[in-house]
Structure 1
């Protein structure tokens, strides 16, 4: 089995007060929307101690104090669960929680951006192939200017997304000073463009694109979820504005 990180998949990684650790290391609390929790054997749980310090704890999913409640996504290829801890004995990990979560969060942001890029690229290929086969008024719909423009728009997003995601991945992997900014750009831009591309690809397919039998819905749903995972574009754009900095100083 594998270990899942017990963080809410709708927000950026971080230590929240949703799980508390007492003096003995027993964990109590609840974390919503944990990716992979329903299949994991172990959980890495961020928790706040009685003294206010954050730490990471390793917990076995089959511990009697752990309750896993599966959730369903629009994207059927991925699943999550709400996890509750009731006095669970956790093994404290000898690593600095905030630093580890920051690094994992940046890697997660880049991986989701790369996933959205792959979905976007596949939707472009599906849409272009379909536009060559589907005929209207006796000619392939790919010969119509509106369809060409839609395909070109997706292509621009794919190539721009490739540059953004690849650079962000290299930056995070190499530990560059500006890696947080690069990851934020990737997470803010690429999944959002993938959602727009998904809508265009759906229009290019017409009615068949709405059917379960056609593969387009798999990538369409994947792009929709990627935009929301670990925070939507607004969250990451605010982080960019803070780090660059573009926001006025507090106070």
Structure 2
């Protein structure tokens, strides 16, 4: 399958629109204020993204209230959200949307398109292979409806979700966030802009969405899409770190010269630029592969995560270090980019997890 990795005119226009929106509604001071607050995210910004502009439902079919676009357009939005480290549950909701689209769950998709937050009830580090799924047990109520019992740790976007999509017993269930027997407990997260929570269920009522191979295929498709989409967010984050560092080194003087004129720093930034160009290629490839149903989408997503996660961490670390003392202060945004990069590096599977998957998918012999 031939994939066009270039941004279309429509995607560039979408990027400009989202960047302008975030410049107005998610400046650094506001992001820091939300990170310091007890609220899980920026509710006003989420309302703008989901209800007023419909960006949270880009890949939802038009007849269900969405835009009828693809994962490629969603990836463009995530690039810009990564540049702003925007504290909104966009990634988790769009991954949930991918699962629901795969299942054809029209009612839940309509709710999502109307602005409801939904999330996969999985630990944030579970990758596309599905290893490490929580051991949630399924029982039956007297009326024959399913009940869930068990715990799930470190669920991203779970605090704000109205519906949790829960894998259990080889099936997929929808659990209302206010269901009896379900409790959500916030946990300390490295990334204040993407809080996590632990779930505990005691005979929590649920609705069966799918079982068997159909459930497994939908969950796998959602996790592959999640890995691909996260790569675009990491790309946007790394690009901001590089751009901001270059601008700082142009204006920061030491020994009567711009710091950016020092050859050692030039080499470090040149190396980072090369890695970032490669990251853009693999992230775009992953998004296009998922959007067009490429049979190699799983391989493309694994390649993107194996590369983009470490690049985002390195870009954020260089940003902190090359800003000198100011880069280590709470008042400068660099620390939130480093925290987002470090926490995202384990989301949907670590780089090591994806390198191992690549070896299997590409039939590479172990070293």
TM-score, structure 2 as length reference: 0.64
Q: Does 1:44 align with 2:165?
A: yes
Q: Does 1:21 align with 2:138?
A: yes
Q: Once superposed, which parts of structure 1, at least 4 consecutive aligned residues long, lie more than 4 Å away?
A: none
Match of 1:77 in 2: 193
In 1, Cα distance between equivalents of 2:205 and 2:191: 34
Q: Does 1:133 align with 2:239?
A: no
In 1, Cα distance between equivalents of 2:206 and 2:365: 40
Structure number with the higher helix fraction is 2
Q: Does 1:209 align with 2:327?
A: yes
Unaligned runs of 5+ in 1: 49-53
Q: Is contact 2:180-2:205 (8 Å) kept?
A: no
Secondary structure of the residue aligned to 2:161 is: coil
Q: Does 1:239 align with 2:360?
A: no
Q: Does 1:62 align with 2:199?
A: no
The equivalences for 1:119-198 within 5 A come to: 119-198=237-316
Give deviations 1:92-130, integer Å, cap 9, x for gaps.
Answer: 014621101111001110111111111100000110011
Shift of residue 247, structure 1, vs aligned partner? 4.4
Shift of residue 246, structure 1, vs aligned partner? 2.0
Give deviations 1:178-218, integer Å, cap 9, x for gaps.
Answer: 11000000011111111122222222111111111112122
Structure number with the higher strand fraction is 1
In 2, Cα distance between equivalents of 1:63 and 1:203: 47
Match of 1:111 in 2: 229
In 2, Cα distance between equivalents of 1:135 and 1:60: 56
Q: CA RMSD in A?
A: 1.5
In structure 2, relative to structure 1, the CA distance for the partners of 1:17 and 1:117 (3 Å cut) is closer
Q: Is contact 1:4-1:40 (8 Å) kept?
A: yes
In 2, Cα distance between equivalents of 1:97 and 1:236: 22
Match of 1:32 in 2: 153
Match of 1:219 in 2: 337
Secondary structure of the residue aligned to 2:201 is: strand
* 218-227 or 82-91, larger mean C-alpha shift: 218-227
Q: Is contact 2:155-2:196 (8 Å) kept?
A: yes
Shift of residue 10, structure 1, vs aligned partner? 1.7
Q: Is contact 1:157-1:194 (8 Å) kept?
A: no
TM-score, structure 1 as length reference: 0.92
Unaligned runs of 5+ in 2: 1-115
Q: Is contact 1:9-1:33 (8 Å) kept?
A: yes
Give deviations 1:56-82, integer Å, cap 9, x for gaps.
Answer: 111111112001011122111111101
Q: Is contact 2:135-2:150 (8 Å) kept?
A: yes
Q: Does 1:97 align with 2:212?
A: no
Shift of residue 173, structure 1, vs aligned partner? 1.1
Shift of residue 17, structure 1, vs aligned partner? 5.0
In 1, Cα distance between equivalents of 2:315 and 2:210: 44
